[in-house]
């Protein structure tokens, strides 16, 4: 299976999936409020989706190791489409929760299985390039999705949900037609016979720090996303429109660097790139404290986006190389740690912001420094094992 032929298909799949997901982001709070949801219920509505992904992503990863990638990707995209239509037809708050739970459980199949698919079709030298392309698709989808959703919200509050459901269904058809299975039956037997992972085994492995690193970077990013609108309004008087452009610039900066992961990895290697990415992220957090205008906010968040952007595909690439488990199982656990960060990050960020508006970003610096120290120790262990093995 030729990489240059398959990666554009995977790019389009993840882009369409994330556009569909992003479409509902601007409207869901207003939609839930219209149905009588309280602020607490709205928070739980956002959290329950990530909670389902936390629990179910490893399961879907293991299933993809056993039955192949394409069927599991189809289940994930079908789940998204179903949940969007369920949201569109909801008339009570409990129906919104049902839709988010169904969507979280089934769509948890998407990211780990697509990453496992990339691992199937790439050599170790090409792995970071493939993971970077998926990162670009995800980032661009998140940029365009909310913008499209905002436009359709002006037509009708139900319109974005129907649009997202239809787009996901079209993506499902696209996968059926164009995506070939990456894991032949003989390879599935090999994946099944690999070491089975539990959370206990995961945290005892020499590369376990990579999972925790994913948690740390997502935790700090989610905290930033939850609080920066308030911070920028106080520090620079920025409104929602300006913030939309700023986050778009951050996303484009992150996508640009992820698109060059192949070249960067060949030059520096994943370990060095992760270290550089953590340092740049910490620098971005520090600079954000000095935000005083649209221009400074855009530049500082773009710097943070570059650092954050290079870490993620490098972690995915390194884990699939080092783990003795199947690719699906490995990427499933990685997605779980990512979801855990998305659950805790906004709550922690909001709590810190209520204490002092600079605290979410100061804590981001501290988390980055701690992550760098722990990762360096873990990386040295890995390098020593490689030298002995």
Which tokens is 19 given? 């556009």
Q: Which residues contact 186 (CB under 8 A, 6 or more apart)?
A: none
- Alpha-carbon distance of 382 to 385, in angstroms, equals 5
What average pLDDT does the structure give for the chain? 88
pLDDT value at 118 more than 90: yes
Q: Report yes or no: 112 and 61 within 8 Å, Cβ to Cβ.
A: yes
C-alpha to C-alpha distances, 52 to 48, 98, 109, 198, nearest whole angstrom: 6, 12, 11, 18
Which tokens is 351 given? 């709590």
Model pLDDT for residues 266-315, shown as the tens digit of each residue: 899 899 999 999 999 999 999 999 999 999 999 999 999 999 999 999 99
- Alpha-carbon distance of 51 to 72, in angstroms, equals 19
pLDDT value at 189 more than 60: no
Q: Report yes or no: 97 and 48 within 8 Å, Cβ to Cβ.
A: yes
Which tokens is 169 given? 């269904």
| Mean pLDDT, rounded, for 141-158 | 83
**pLDDT score at 242:** 86
pLDDT value at 382 more than 90: no
**pLDDT score at 86:** 96
232-237-239-242 Cα dihedral, nearest 10 degrees: -70
Q: Report yes or no: 15 and 119 within 8 Å, Cβ to Cβ.
A: no
Neighbours of 243 (CB within 10 A): 17
pLDDT value at 321 more than 70: yes
Q: Say what the pTM is.
A: 0.87
Neighbours of 234 (CB within 10 A): 11
Q: Report yes or no: 95 and 88 within 8 Å, Cβ to Cβ.
A: no
| Mean pLDDT, rounded, for 165-193 | 82
* Percent of the chain whose predicted confidence (pLDDT) is above 70: 91
Burial of 146 (0-12, 13-18, 19+ CB in 10 A): buried
Domains of the chain listed by start with CATH number: 1-193 (1.20.1250.20), 195-389 (1.20.1250.20)
Confidence of residue 97 (pLDDT cuts 50, 70, 90): very high
């Amino acid at each position: 299976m030729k990489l240059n032929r398959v990666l554009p298909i995977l790019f389009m799949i993840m882009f369409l999936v994330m556009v569909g997901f992003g479409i509902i982001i601007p409207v869901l709070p207003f939609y839930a409020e219209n149905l009588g949801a309280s602020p607490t219920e709205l928070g739980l509505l956002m959290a329950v989706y990530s909670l389902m992904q936390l629990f179910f992503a490893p399961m879907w990863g293991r299933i993809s190791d056993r039955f192949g990638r394409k069927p599991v990707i189809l289940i994930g995209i079908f789940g998204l489409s179903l949940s969007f239509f369920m949201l569109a037809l909801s008339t009570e708050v409990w129906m919104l929760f049902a839709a988010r739970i169904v969507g979280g459980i089934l769509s948890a199949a998407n990211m780990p299985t697509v990453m496992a698919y990339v691992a199937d079709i790439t050599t170790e030298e090409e792995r970071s390039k493939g993971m970077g392309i998926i990162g670009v698709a995800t980032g661009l989808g998140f940029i365009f999705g909310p913008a499209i959703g905002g436009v359709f919200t002006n037509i009708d509050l139900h319109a974005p949900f129907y649009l997202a459901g239809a787009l996901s269904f079209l993506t499902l058809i696209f996968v059926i037609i164009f995506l070939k299975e990456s894991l032949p039956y003989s390879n599935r037997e090999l994946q099944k016979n690999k070491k089975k992972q539990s959370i206990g085994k995961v945290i005892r492995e020499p590369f376990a720090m990579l999972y925790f690193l994913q948690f740390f970077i997502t935790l700090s990013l989610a905290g930033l996303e939850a609080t920066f609108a308030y911070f920028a309004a106080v520090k620079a008087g920025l409104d929602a429109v300006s913030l939309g452009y700023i986050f778009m610039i951050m996303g484009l900066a992150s996508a640009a660097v992820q698109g060059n992961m192949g070249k960067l990895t060949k030059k520096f290697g994943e370990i060095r790139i992760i270290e550089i990415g953590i340092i740049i992220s910490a620098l971005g957090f520090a600079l954000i404290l000095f935000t005083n205008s649209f221009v400074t906010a855009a530049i500082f968040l773009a710097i943070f986006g570059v650092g954050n952007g290079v870490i993620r595909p490098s972690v995915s690439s390194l884990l699939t190389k080092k783990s003795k488990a199947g690719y699906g199982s490995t990427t499933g656990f990685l997605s779980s740690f990512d979801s855990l960060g998305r659950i805790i990050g906004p709550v922690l960020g909001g709590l810190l912001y209520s204490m002092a508006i600079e605290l979410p970003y100061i804590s981001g610096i501290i988390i980055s420094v701690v992550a760098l120290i722990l990762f360096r120790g873990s990386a040295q262990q890995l390098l020593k094992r490689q030298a002995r093995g």
